[in-house]
């Protein structure tokens, strides 16, 4: 049966379900440049306004996977399981979680990305380690998984090329917010990487893409549905992202904090979420009888971290970059820190140089923010509340502007907020 872009656009515009053949055709034709950018823009807007049901979304995802190559992990001797976070502020969980789950007996193919805007990227963080490299071939990925137990790297160019094109298009056509398109984008890359099990960390709150927990649950359900429909054992945790995770926001700063967690210290919220996600990943992978909390306390996960970094030519013992300039933001009053807005802190770190505005921009690995107090803690007027770090002192004023109104201090105590909000999955 022959298809045309206007027919597919018209069908979705008028609220009809797209057939499997229509979806397969339009994704393939778009990847080959036979569907024009303006036509795919119109279709993306129609999907944003009209939606796609679970079957359509699963087929759309499978078509994007089929647009390129897939990573064959059949020869890896351990059970494979991956984690994906929808992005947040201070979210260094992958750095501690990957070696922990590998130390528990799984193989973790953690194909990650770079930051854009106020959310940080795992690859940017790891590239603050001298010598470490993100770009690996498919053979190198399989080798590290089999030999070391984990790899954290950039996706190879051939994985889901349709998603790469469509992601860039959605970014400039105000169609990023479509939950079916978000879910298909995330899952096409994860399915293409060949893992058999997957856990999603869907973040909700001011510093997350999903501000509202109900929208977060909708996205989590879509992600789990796609994974299940494509034969991947998938579950999701909904986690809070109204306050930065841990006490650091910025590349080298977050690496240092993740290493502290791997050495049995570090912020309790980072350790809590790391262990919770590790348990979920081990459950998906069918690995029982191993307590990730005990493995973390034993130091085995830190040793695994050193092996993972060294296997990608990094020096785990090397000194990390330090910023040339610092600025202290003091507490304006005494009392209990009631709130610290994750989005504002993320924007401040971004303006200090920790993030990028365009994909081609370079980041400052030493830039960022250290939270000297977290919500629920007592502060005294004049004590350091936030430390700002940058190599460009002129950036401080913009960071301070972002932090105006970012926190509240009250006279009464504050009850702790839950970090894990819900779970979706089998």
Which residues are tagged catalytic? Answer: 84, 163, 170, 185, 189
For 5-92, where are the alpha helices, taking DSSP H only?
Answer: 5-13, 20-31, 37-50, 54-66
How many Å is the maximal CA-CA distance in the chain?
Answer: 72
Report the distance separating Cα 18 and Cα 50, nearest Å.
Answer: 11
Secondary structure class of 396 (helix, strand, coil): helix
| DSSP symbols for 130-145 | TT------HHHHHHHH
- Phi/psi region, residue 382 (left: phi>0; alpha: psi -120 to 50; beta: rest), is left
Secondary structure class of 257 (helix, strand, coil): helix
Of 169, 241, 251, which is closest to residue 207 (Cα–Cα)? 241
Report the distance separating Cα 374 and Cα 393, nearest Å.
Answer: 25
| Residues whose CB is less than 8 angstroms from the CB of residue 327 and which lie 6 or more positions away in sequence, other chains included | 387, 388, 390, 393, 396, 399, 400
| DSSP symbols for 163-215 | HHHHHHHHHTTT-TT-HHHHHHHHHHHHHHTT-SEEEEEEEESTTSSB-SHHH
H or E element, residue 282: helix 268-285
Do β-strands 108-112 and 150-154 pair in parallel, antiparallel, or remain unpaired?
parallel
Report the distance separating Cα 231 and Cα 233, nearest Å.
Answer: 7
């Amino acid at each position: 049966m022959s298809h045309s872009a206007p027919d597919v656009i018209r069908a979705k515009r008028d609220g009809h379900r797209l057939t499997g053949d229509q979806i397969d055709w339009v994704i393939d034709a778009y990847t080959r440049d036979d569907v024009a950018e303006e036509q795919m823009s119109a279709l993306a807007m129609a999907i944003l306004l009209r939606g796609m049901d679970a079957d359509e979304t699963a087929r759309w995802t499978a078509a994007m996977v089929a647009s390129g190559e897939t990573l064959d992990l059949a020869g890896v001797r351990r059970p494979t399981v991956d984690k994906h976070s929808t992005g947040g502020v201070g979210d260094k969980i992958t750095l501690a979680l990957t070696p922990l789950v590998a130390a528990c007996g799984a193989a973790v193919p953690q194909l990650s990305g770079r930051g854009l805007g106020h959310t940080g990227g795992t690859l940017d963080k790891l590239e603050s380690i001298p010598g470490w490299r993100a770009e690996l071939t498919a053979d190198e990925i399989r080798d590290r998984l089999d030999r070391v137990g984990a790899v954290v790297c950039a996706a190879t160019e051939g994985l889901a090329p349709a998603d790469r094109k469509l992601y860039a298009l959605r970014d400039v056509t105000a169609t990023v917010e479509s939950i079916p398109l978000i879910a298909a984008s995330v899952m096409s890359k994860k399915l293409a990487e060949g893992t058999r099990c997957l856990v999603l960390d869907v973040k909700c709150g001011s510093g997350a893409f999903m501000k509202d927990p109900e929208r977060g649950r909708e996205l989590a359900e879509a992600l789990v549905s796609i994974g299940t429909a494509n034969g991947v054992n998938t579950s999701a945790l909904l986690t809070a992202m109204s306050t930065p995770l841990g006490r650091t926001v910025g590349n080298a700063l977050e690496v240092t904090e993740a290493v502290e967690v791997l050495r049995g210290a570090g912020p309790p919220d980072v350790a809590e979420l790391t262990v919770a996600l590790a348990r979920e990943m081990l459950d998906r992978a069918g690995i029982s009888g191993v307590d990730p909390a005990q493995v973390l306390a034993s130091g085995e996960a830190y040793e695994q971290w050193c092996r993972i970094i060294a296997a990608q030519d990094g020096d785990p013992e090397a000194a990390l970059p330090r910023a040339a300039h610092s600025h202290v933001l003091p507490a304006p009053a005494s009392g209990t820190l009631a709130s610290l807005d994750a989005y504002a802190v993320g924007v401040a770190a971004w303006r200090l140089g920790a993030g990028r505005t365009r994909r081609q921009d370079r980041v400052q690995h030493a830039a960022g923010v250290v939270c000297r107090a977290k919500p629920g803690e007592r502060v005294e007027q004049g004590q350091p509340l936030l430390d700002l770090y940058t190599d460009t002192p002129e950036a401080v004023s913009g960071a301070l502007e972002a932090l105006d109104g970012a926190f509240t201090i009250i006279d009464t105590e504050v009850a702790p907020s839950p970090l894990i909000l819900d779970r979706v999955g089998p």
